[in-house]
Amino acid sequence: MSSQITNSSTVDPSEIPLCKEQYITVYLNVYDMLPRGRITDICYRLGVGIFHSSVEILGREYNFGGHDSDYTGVFVTRPKQGPPNVTFKESITMGYTTMDKEEIKNVIDELSRAWRGNSYNLLTRNCNHFSSELCEQLVGKPAPSWINRAAKLGTFFPCVVPNGPGLDNGKK
């Protein structure tokens, strides 16, 4: 297909050539938190899974996790390595940002201050909430809703969620 731009009032965005130096790709990396088996197969058929997600940009992967201290819960890993005991599922291209490296660093620094480890909540402020917010700030759209569907369902049925640090039945 030709990439000529006409005088028409609308232009197909796919027809506009992109300069790689001006656009940085943002990926959402998704990990299965449950081992493969009959239960996970049933959950997938019902459209529910238990996932960890993180955002990959410029060769670094940004995650959020909980701990008891009042400092950031944001941490960096190598892309597609994930936390222990999870299995890489897929990488979703969320879009492209026109921010430069300094602007991206500022966004991540700001979120790192706001996302404290002791603010983690399994149902209402988890890694998927963080990834969704970071994607929204970088490319203007949140992570797909299925990533955090299990947590959303858990807020409706808190009696099935165990108590413990970060597992307070959605009460925070």
Residues with catalytic roles: 52, 127
Tell me the two tokens of residue 142: 């949140």
Tell me the two tokens of residue 78: 């190598």
Residue position matching structure tokens 């936390």: 83
Residue position matching structure tokens 């797909």: 144
Q: Which residues contact 64 (CB under 8 A, 6 or more apart)?
A: 54, 73, 74, 75, 115, 120, 126, 127, 129, 130, 131
**Rounded to the nearest 10 degrees, how much is the dihedral formed by the CA atoms of 22, 111, 126, 154?**
-90
